[in-house]
Amino acid sequence: MWSKGESPFNQGMMSLTTIGWDASWEKAFEPYKPQGLVPARIAREEKELYLIYCEQGELSAEVTGKFRHEAKFRSDYPAVGDWVAVQPLPGEERAMIHALLPRRTKFSRKVASVKTEEQVVAANVDTVFLMSGLDRDFNLRRIERYLVLAWESGAQPVVLLNKRDLCPEVDQRVAEVEAVAIGVPVHATSAMENQGLEALAPYLMPGKTIALLGSSGVGKSTLINTLLGEERQDVGAVRESDGRGRHITSRRELIPLPSGALLIDNPGMREIQMWGDEEGLSGAFEDVETLARGCRFRDCRHEKEAGCAVREALDTGALDPGRFKSYQKLQRELRFLARRQDQRLRQAEKARWKKISQWQKVLEKSKFKGDYA
């Protein structure tokens, strides 16, 4: 982040209010005041070590042993953007994290492994900037995937089509995205040439938090540098062969902007795995689900059933076949995920009862020995 002494917090330039604290968070924090804890916001996370902002300044932090013991899943740990209850250590620039305040929103994905586990990418976000390049990286299906997760997060999605200076058919591309991002603002920008960025001003209000998501090479670091007015983020080259960039941002962090907004930068995610239920799917594919409600049969599979409104729309060209295939693919992924989540919860519950049973046996054994003595 900043070098020693340069942090806006350490210079007295920021307060909790400037990073999103309000009356609602104050109320949520009430139970922790009697314990002598103070509120803080997670600014960076690296392998369960954290950088936090609090009224005492910018501190390094880690969770307590009790917190670690009570956390069942990875998603129970703090993520960038979270508000936490901490205890600063006297005479040190460190703090212990005792509790996580309930999240208002969270942008999650499945961890990039065979495990069925949730990874919270960003928490307490007001707006999600879904960034796509208008070069060879342009991909409607990937935008749809991001939109499902954005609607699931509870934050407001906004699509940024960057590199408009490299695209001869900007209006056509914007129209294509608007057709799949129903009800979502779509803005064509050029972070490099500072074009179209004035449209972002309504989202960059003081105290508001924005998450910036997109593949490597779409211009996220360039956008951040432009919004900051300085070259703070490293910018990487994009390969001519496929228009893809390499990962420059290697960690998530909360970045205060001159406008007073907070921006959560994320490493590029080309293959983002789904997490959540079909509520996000409904938000991203409202047109398909509206058509499905017009089918004659409630359990219509949209194949060869009579009175299928979806098939009729496909036959007449009212529904793009590629979009419908994307809908079906994401629906299958989410249903498979739901089955795996149920299995994981059953296994966790079984393990919990096994541990309780073991403790009961230990207690009964010790009690028997005490009675015998």
Tens-digit pLDDT profile for residues 279-288? 667 777 888 8
- What residues form DSSP beta bridges with 41? 53, 83
**What is the band of 85 on the pLDDT scale with cuts at 50, 70, 90?**
very high
pLDDT over 90 for what percent of the chain?
Answer: 43
**What is the band of 368 on the pLDDT scale with cuts at 50, 70, 90?**
low
Q: Is residue 340 predicted with pLDDT exceeding 80?
A: no
Averaged pLDDT, 264-282: 62
Q: What is the pLDDT of residue 241?
A: 45
**What is the band of 60 on the pLDDT scale with cuts at 50, 70, 90?**
very high
Query: In angstroms, how far apart are the furthest CA atoms of the chain?
Result: 89
Q: What is the pLDDT of residue 112?
A: 56
Averaged pLDDT, 90-109: 92
For the segment 194-204, what is each residue's pLDDT rounded down to a tens digit?
999 999 999 99
Is-contact 134 188, C-beta < 8 A?
A: yes
Same domain, 121 and 76: no
Q: What is the pLDDT of residue 154?
A: 86
- What residues form DSSP beta bridges with 253? 44, 265
Averaged pLDDT, 230-249: 49
Of 277 and 283, more confident:
283
Lowest mean pLDDT among 176-190, 198-212, 236-250: 236-250
**What is the band of 67 on the pLDDT scale with cuts at 50, 70, 90?**
very high
Same domain, 114 and 203: yes
Please name which of 287, 285, 337, 271 lies closest in space to residue 151, comparing C-alpha atoms. 285
Averaged pLDDT, 10-22: 80
Same domain, 122 and 222: yes
Listed residues 100, 129, 162: the one ending a domain: 100
Q: What is the pLDDT of residue 2?
A: 43
**How many domains does the chain contain in total?**
3
For residue 321, give its domain range.
278-335
Averaged pLDDT, 11-36: 89
**SS3 state of residue 118:** strand
Listed residues 227, 243, 265: the one ending a domain: 265
Q: What is the pLDDT of residue 353?
A: 58
Distance CA 155, CA 8 (A): 26
CA distance between the termini of the chain: 62
Same domain, 76 and 169: no
CATH number at residue 81: 2.40.50.140
Q: Is residue 26 predicted with pLDDT exceeding 80?
A: yes
Q: What is the pLDDT of residue 4?
A: 43
Q: Is residue 290 predicted with pLDDT exceeding 80?
A: yes
Q: What is the pLDDT of residue 272?
A: 63
Distance CA 355, CA 373 (A): 27
Please check whether residue 33 lies inside any domain of the structure: yes
Same domain, 178 and 231: yes
Please check whether residue 117 lies inside any domain of the structure: yes
Residue with tokens 């998530």: 252
Q: What is the pLDDT of residue 336?
A: 57
What is the model's pTM?
A: 0.73
Please name which of 133, 138, 137 lies closest in space to residue 219, comparing C-alpha atoms. 133
Same domain, 110 and 94: no
Same domain, 331 and 222: no
- 149, two tokens: 């997760």
Lowest mean pLDDT among 125-134, 148-157, 159-168, 218-227: 148-157
Is-contact 273 112, C-beta < 8 A?
A: yes
Q: What is the pLDDT of residue 152?
A: 83
Q: What is the pLDDT of residue 303?
A: 81
**What is the band of 341 on the pLDDT scale with cuts at 50, 70, 90?**
low
Distance CA 217, CA 200 (A): 20
DSSP code, position 244: -
Q: Is residue 184 predicted with pLDDT exceeding 60?
A: yes
Same domain, 85 and 171: no
Measure Cα distances from 291 to 98, 153, 181, 315, 330 in Å: 48, 24, 16, 13, 17
Return the beta strands (E) in the chain as ranges: 38-46, 49-54, 57-63, 83-88, 94-100, 106-110, 118-123, 127-133, 156-162, 186-188, 209-214, 253-256, 262-265
Identify the H or E element spanning 88. strand 83-88
Of 2 and 101, more confident:
101
Q: Is residue 294 predicted with pLDDT exceeding 50?
A: yes
